[in-house]
Chains A and B, each alone.
Chain A
C-alpha cells in the first residue's frame, strides 16, 4: 500500500505479520497486567489503594 507501489501499479498482498506481533504484544501486556492485579489482590486484598 505504499505510494510507490501504488504508483507503479504493483499489488502486494497484505501482510498480517505485524498485526500478529502487535496482538502478541498486547496479549503479553494484558497477561502481565492480569498477573499483577492477581498478585496485588492476593497479597494486599486491594488493587489501587495502599494496603493498611
Chain B
C-alpha cells in the first residue's frame, strides 16, 4: 500500500469521524420541528381567537363608548341648560343683593338716627335723674323741716297739756276756794259775787276737759263710733302718745280714747293730731304709765 493511500485512508477516516460527529451533534441538538409547528399553529389559533375576542371587545367598548359619549352629551346639554338657569338665578340674586344693600344702607341711616335720638334721650334721662336727685335732696330737707316742725308742735302740745293741767288745778283750787268762801259767806248770810272774766275766751284753744262744761260733742261721737287700736309710742316727758289708727279708720281731732291694759284703766288720750294711719293725743287722767302695745278704745 502506498503512502499516499495510507494518507488518504487516514484522512478519510479522520474526516469521516469528524463529519459523523458533526452530523450526530446536529441531529442530537435538533428538536422536533413538527411538534414545534403544531405548537406554533396552536399558538397561532389561540392568538387569532384572542384577536377575534379583542376585536369583539373593542367593538363592544366602542359601542359602550358611543353610548357613554351620547349620555355624556345629553348630560352636557342638561348641564348647559342648568347653567343657563343658574345664570338667570345668579342675575336675580344679584338684583336682590343690590336691593338688600340699598335696604341695608337705609336701615343703617335709620339706626344712626335712632342712635342719635337715643343719645338725646339718655341726655334727657340724665338731666331728669339730676332733677330727681335734686328733688330728693329737697324732699329730704323738707322732711327734716317737717320733723323739726312736728317736734316743735309736740313740744308745744306738751306745753299746752301742762298748761291745761295747771288750769284744771287752778279750777279745782278755785272751786275749793269758792266752796270755802260760800261756806264762810253762808255763815254770815251773804252771797258771793260772780267773778268777772278779764281774759276773753279764744275760739281756737279749748280746754280738754273741764269739770263745769259738759262732755264735748266728739266724745259722744267716739262712743257712737266704737274704734279700737293700740298705743304705738309714749312720751311721758311731754305727756303725749301715738295710737295705731288714724283718719282712715275714722279718728278725728278732739276724740277721746281710753287706754286699758287687760282689765285695768291706764289713762285717756285726747287726740289733737290725726294722720291717715296714726294719731297723736295728750295723756289725761293718768293712773299708770302707758306702754306701747296697750289697747286704746273709744268705748270701755
Contacts and interface: CB of A to CB of B under 8 A. Distances in A.
B interface, by DSSP: helix, strand, loop or mixed? helix
A28 B21 CA distance: 9
Interface in A1-52: 1-2, 15, 18, 21-22, 24-25, 28-29, 31-32, 35-36, 39, 43-44, 51
A43 B73 CA distance: 63
A46 to B, nearest CB: 10
A32 B1 contact: no
Given A44-B34, A51-B34, A21 B23 contact: no
Interface string B155-194: 0000000000000000000000000000000000000000
Nearest to B35: A43
Contact of A36 (B10, B16, B23): B23
A43 B10 CA distance: 34
Interface residues of B, number: 19
Nearest to B17: A28
Interface of B: 1-2, 5-6, 9-10, 12-13, 16-17, 20, 23-24, 27-28, 30, 32-34
A43 B17 contact: no
A21 B13 contact: yes
Interface of A: 1-2, 15, 18, 21-22, 24-25, 28-29, 31-32, 35-36, 39, 43-44, 51
